[in-house]
Structure formats: structure tokens, C-alpha cells
Amino acid sequence: MLLQPNLTPIAVAAALFFVTQTTYAQASKQTTTEPEVQTLGVITVNASADASAEGLSKPFAGGQVARGGRVGVFGTQDVMDTPFSSTSYTNILIQDQQAKSVADVLLNDSSVRQARGFGNFQEVYIVRGFPVFSDDVAYNGLYGMLPRQYIAAEFVERVEVFRGANTFLNGAAPGGSGLGGAINLLPKRAPNEALTRAGLSLQTGGQASVSTDIARRFGPNQDTGVRLNAVRRNGGTGIGQEKVDLTALGIGLDWRSRDVRLSADIGYQDYKLTQGRPSVTPSSLFAIPVAPDARGNFAQPWTYSKERDTFATFRGEVDLTPSLTAWTAGGIRYSNEDNILSNPTLINSAGDTSSIRFSNTREDKVTTAEAGLRGKFNTGAVGHTVVASINSFSNDRRNAYAISAASFASNIYKPSASAFPAENGPGFFVGNSLSSPGLTDKIKTSSIALADTLAFAQDSVLLTLGARNQTIQQDSFAYNTSAQIANYNQSRTSPVAGLVVKPSSHISLYANYIEGLVQGGTAPVTFAGQPVTNGGQSQAPFNAKQKEIGAKYDGGTFGASVALFTTAKPLAYVQNQVYGTYGEQRNQGLELSVYGEAARGLRLLGGLTLIKAKQTRTQDGQNDGKDAIGVPRQQLNIGAEWDVASVRGLSLNARVINTSKQYANASNTQQLDSWTRLDAGARYLMEAGNGNVLTWRARIDNLLNKSYWASTGGAGSNYLVLGAPRTLVVSASVDF
């Protein structure tokens, strides 16, 4: 293997530093030529997913990442001009790596680890040691518009990862996550040239996929664009008996005049996972068992997870004056979920488990809207970019469940099937009706934000100051009776301060203070058999406070960045029979990243993240100084792609992912072993006649078929997620 599991942080940091310094000398001798923008009459056509005048940020050298991305209310900005850490992964990368979901794309990011929701198959992304639920992934800057459990990559032009707290920039995430980062997906738009692409892929397990991507521009100045993406995927995954059935359709529209830009998206996704391999809950009485065969499946044959989503979004900008722009955006999503799940709990070190049946149905109706103004002016030698915005979000959730009291036995090494527990059998707990789920939650958020970015010394020094006042409301209703059982309505102001200093055109130094905001908890009625004085009362929203300094390098063909950060998150628990925010978790870390062309025909992408996630104040001090659950101290992702000079059209690639050990409980008596995974692939372009291009791609993930526990489910959780087995994917696409 290229890297061993005991890889030391110092060795990796030294290697990355050497690559960066070597590339600096190489890049300083090269120059880049920006792609020419096509001009049609008096209108510049530059298709933009976010309906901005600037359009999409241009790709960086190598095409795998972009030069910038969306920075919340500030809109699209060059990465060198922002006092934050972010990366925008392009559709070129998504295609070349044959990514099927957002999680596949984020395998390139060392600050991110993939996990799973509690008891289901919802994708969870751990950014800087804190979770970002798939509920809280934004679509073109709007929360809540995407499918909750799985997001097909075919919808996506770019995957933007923002690292760090971000409540001022994006508003508080309605799902209650995002303290360590944010993920925004940009939809596809029609390019200047007509596009007709058809694709076919096959993978281990017999899964077949067929897709199409069609785009056209219309009008005298090609000011109207339409893009259609469709995919049908069905078959196995490489995990025994696990099957996927996916149908997804997306339509992207855009129109622009000299002063007005509009875009809209309509999406539909129908996704079913049959006999999906579940998470495993360990017992606190013994060590974490050895991971079973990565190809094995201990799911019950009657389990499944289904989700159907329909969503639509709109975004528009109008230039009121040459220096003042107004924007508005909105969206709506309808979602239906139906699940029959059975997640095993380990009962001994031999891998024996006990499970029950859990069924649930859920319906969501989500609406969101925002509006804002962005203007520029000068006061003497100081430039100002002022932004003001308001937004609102609403989610009505309807839920129902059925739980079997009787358990059944199996084993993660030698799984056995059990009979399906019928709902009319004894010992069932039921909440609402599975066929018609009842209203359980009404969630509303609203906020207003104001900021000013001051530019000094010919834009070589940028100072950003701002604040957002956020209100979070939630009404909860009892199962079966629909009686209101809780009401939450709290507000808090979240500030931001950022500084960028550019001593040269190649170097950008930055610092920031920014906060994350999530809903406070509700005090339990009793604790340890005693009544809680403030039982049932809702706590105020709490802030995660972040401080960060960093540096960015842009050598034209090669880029790199380094960041040092610390984020403090409050912890709530009962003390002296009163529930409150008494504790703290503090995540401190170092991030290194590299991207671009290290040499002609050689592209690098990846980085190293070192994190110390400590429980600094815990109940009665019992876990003070111990590591937080599910946060590895070292995360390495490094990939390379090189063009084979002797074979025209052939490119080879490889990627190494290394994750150090992580603890599965707060007392740090249980741990998951470190793991290293190797992926490899190839791409070959050839002519298909009539000037058409046929692209062949092949990829093997987990090349050595390593069996390992990939994560503990999510930061703060302790359920085990087994890594995927060796998976071969072969695809062909042709552009007509």
C-alpha cells in the first residue's frame, strides 16, 4: 500500500510541504490563460447556477476545483478574497470519479468524513469534527430543498464545502447541525454550446445505470437556457443482497437580460434501498469487535428504506443601479418516506446481536424564501461592499411509527434471517397511523443579516464586519393524540468578523471570528429518578464560537492552503437537578490542502486534517480532557491524476484515504481502529465518428477490499458503520 495505517502526522505534513514547495517553483515558471467568454451582441452569456452577474466561478487549473464559490449572503467570491476556508468541487471531478452521491464527492476532502443517521440510511457529513445532516445541505443557497437521506450526484454542477461555523453567512441550519461547516450544491445550467450526452455504467453487484444530459440555449442572444438531466439506476451494490433502485429527473432553466438574471430548478427523485446493511450499536461491556467481511450483509431480508421527493426553486437578481443589486430566492419541497428497519445491538464479543423491527413513515412540506440587497460605494479611499438580507424557512413534519417489543437474534459474522414481525402481533408500540402519519412538528426560522466589507490599500486589505439576528420556532405535537407538548421560540444574534491581507497576488492571509447557532435542548422531566426543577422548559439557542487564522497560495496552476482553527461548543446536562448549558467541547485543528496541476499532465487534490476534539467540561468532570466521540485525530485524503504521454487520451488516477483511530464512547474505553483505503481508476477518450467523443471510465474503490469500521455513525454517536467493499464501476458516455 502507498500509506500504512500508522502513518504519522509529521510525515504527512512534511510530504505535503515538500509537494507544495516543489510545485511553487514549477508553477512560478508557468502562466495560465483564462477561457474566453463568448460575447453575443450586447449580452455576455455566462450561465450561472445562482443567477449572479459573475456567473460560475471559473475552474482552477486541472479543472477539479473552482477558483471560488458561494459564500452565503456575500454571493460568489474568489477564494483568495474570503476570510474563510472553502472548496468547490466541479462537475468534471464528479464525472471522472463516477460519483453517484454527494458523499462520493466528499471522499476527496480531508476535513470531511462520511457517517450515517441514527437508525436509518441518511447521509451525515462530519466537518471539522461536527455533523452536517443531509437535511441541512443547501441547494443553490437554500436549506431544505433536497432529498433527506440520499442526494443523487446527477443533480449537481458543483459541491461546495465551507469549513467552519457559518450562521451569519447562511443562517442557522434548520436540522440543528452545521456547527463545523456547511455544504452547498449548485444545480446545472445550459452552457453556451449545445450539449447532448448519454451514459451507461455497470458496477459490482450487477447495478446498471443509464443517464442523459441535454442542454440548449435559445433566443436572439441565447439569453434563455434549458438543461435536462435524467438517471435510472437499479441493481446490487457489492454488499451481499443489498439493492438500489433510483429514478431522478432535474430540469434547470435560466434567462438573462442586461440587468436581470433569473434561474429555476425542478427536481424529482424516487429512491429505494432494499436490505441495506444497517449500523451496529456496540455494548459498553466489551471492546469493539473486529469488523466483519466488507462484502457481508447482516440486514434482515424484509428491511427497506424508500424516499420520494419533488422540489422546485427559483432565484433572481436585478441591477437597480450599476452599484446596487437586489435578489430574491425561494423554494418548496414535498417528501414521503417509508421505512422498515432493524438495527442490531451487540450482546457479546462473539458478534451475537439482538434486534427489533422499527417501521416509520414521514411526510415533509418545506418552504423557504430570502431577499436581499448588495451595494458598493466609496468613502474616500475606503471601498465598501454592503449586504442586507432577510430569510424565512418552514417545515411541517408528519410522522408515524411501529416498534416490535419482541427481539430476534443474529450474528454480524454469520447472519441469520428472522420472520417478519407482523403489526397485529403482541407487544407492538404504535405512534399515529403508518398509512396516514400525523403532524408532529412545525419548525420555522427567520433572520435578518447586515454586513460591510471594507477595502483598503487598493483591495489588498479586506475587513468584514456583520451580524445576523436569528429566530428559531418549533411546535411539537404528541403521537396518537395530536396534543401540543412543546413550544419553542428563541432568538439570538450571531456576529462575524473577518480580515484578509494580500501581501502579493499569490498569497492571501486571513483571520476570522464567526459563530454557529443551533436550537437549545428541552429539559427532561426527571433525571436519575429525581424530578428536574426546570423540566420541560426549552433552552435558548446556543453558539459554537470559532476563531481561525490561515494562509492561501495561488500559483496560477497550483494552489495550497493552511488553516488553524478552534471551535468551542456548549454541552447541556442536568446538574443539581437543573438542566442547563454547563459543559463544553472544544475542537482544535490544523488543515492543509493542495490542488491543481503540480506539473504538466499531473493533477493533485487532497489534504491533511489534524483535530483534537476534547471534552473540556463534562458532568461531574468524569470525562474532562477525553476525546469526543467519533472524531479521529488524523484524516488524510490525497489523490493524483496523470495523463499518460505515450497513450493519447488515457489518464490514470489513484487516491489514498487514511483515518486514525476514533473513540466510540465518551469515556474513551472503546475505540475503532485506524484504517487506510486505496482507490484507483482510469479514463480514456476516443473519437466515436462524426466528431463525437466517447469517454470510457473505470474505477475500483477500496482496491484491497479492506474490511473496517468506517465511523461511529456521527460525532457524539456510538453506532458502528461498516466500510464499503471493493467496488468496480465501469462507464461509457458519448457527447453527440
pLDDT of residue 553: 98
The residue-averaged pLDDT of 183-197 equals: 95
pLDDT at 708 over 70: yes
Residue tagged 446493511 (cell numbers): 277
Cβ within 8 Å of residue 170, ≥6 positions away: 72, 73, 138, 141, 143, 162, 178, 182, 184
The residue-averaged pLDDT of 497-521 equals: 95
The residue-averaged pLDDT of 48-70 equals: 88
For residue 240, the SS3 value is coil
Q: Is residue 422 part of a domain?
A: no
Query: Residue 192: is it exposed, middle or buried by C-beta count within 10 angstroms (0-12/13-18/19+)?
Result: middle
Phi-psi region of 205 (alpha: psi -120 to 50; beta: other; left: phi over 0): left
Tell how many helices (H) and how many strands (E) occur in the chain: 4, 44
pLDDT of residue 715: 64
Residue tagged 429555476 (cell numbers): 264
3-state helix, strand, coil in the chain (%, to 5): 5, 55, 35
| pLDDT tens-digit series, residues 68-113 | 999 999 999 999 999 999 999 999 999 999 999 999 999 999 999 9
pLDDT of residue 25: 40
Which of 539 and 264 is assigned the larger pLDDT?
264
| pLDDT tens-digit series, residues 38-48 | 333 333 445 56
Quick one: pLDDT band at residue 127, thresholds 50, 70, 90?
very high
Q: Residue 202 sits in a domain of what CATH number?
A: 2.40.170.20
Classify the C-alpha dihedral 426-429-431-436 as positive or negative: negative
pLDDT of residue 156: 95
Quick one: pLDDT band at residue 22, thresholds 50, 70, 90?
very low
pLDDT of residue 2: 36
pLDDT > 90 fraction of the chain, expressed in percent and rounded:
79
Q: Is residue 90 part of a domain?
A: yes
- Domain count along the chain: 1
pLDDT of residue 422: 78
Q: Determine the Cα–Cα distance for residues 94 and 735; give it in Å rounded to an integer.
A: 17
pLDDT of residue 129: 95
Q: Determine the Cα–Cα distance for residues 442 and 396; give it in Å rounded to an integer.
A: 5
pLDDT of residue 716: 67
C-alpha distance from residue 334 to each of 200, 281, 398, 478 (Å):
30, 32, 11, 22
Q: Determine the Cα–Cα distance for residues 63 and 5; give it in Å rounded to an integer.
A: 30
Quick one: pLDDT band at residue 17, thresholds 50, 70, 90?
very low
| pLDDT tens-digit series, residues 372-388 | 999 999 999 999 999 99
Q: Is residue 670 part of a domain?
A: yes
Residue tagged 438542566 (cell numbers): 579
pLDDT of residue 652: 98
pLDDT of residue 486: 82
| pLDDT tens-digit series, residues 112-126 | 999 887 777 888 999
pLDDT at 28 over 50: no
Q: Are residues 307 and 150 in contact, defined by beta-carbon separation less than 8 angstroms?
A: yes
The residue-averaged pLDDT of 352-364 equals: 95
pLDDT of residue 164: 97
pLDDT of residue 23: 39
Which of 169 and 17 is assigned the larger pLDDT?
169
Write the secondary structure of 391-409 as one string of H (helix), E (strand) and C (coil): EEEEEEEEEEEEEECCCEE
| pLDDT tens-digit series, residues 621-643 | 999 999 999 999 999 999 999 99
Strands 382-404 and 408-411 turn out to be unpaired
pLDDT of residue 182: 97
Mean of all residue pLDDT scores within the chain: 90
Strands 260-274 and 243-256 turn out to be antiparallel
Q: Is residue 35 part of a domain?
A: no
pLDDT of residue 574: 87
Which of 206 and 485 is assigned the larger pLDDT?
206
> What values do phi and psi take at 619, rounded to 5?
-60, 120
Q: Is residue 38 part of a domain?
A: no
Q: Which domain holds residue 495?
A: 9-30+47-417+428-735
pLDDT at 4 over 50: no
Quick one: pLDDT band at residue 425, thresholds 50, 70, 90?
low
Which of 543 and 46 is assigned the larger pLDDT?
543
Q: Determine the Cα–Cα distance for residues 53 and 256; give it in Å rounded to an integer.
A: 9
pLDDT of residue 426: 65
C-alpha distance from residue 663 to each of 105, 288, 494, 634, 714 (Å):
26, 10, 32, 13, 11
Quick one: pLDDT band at residue 421, thresholds 50, 70, 90?
confident
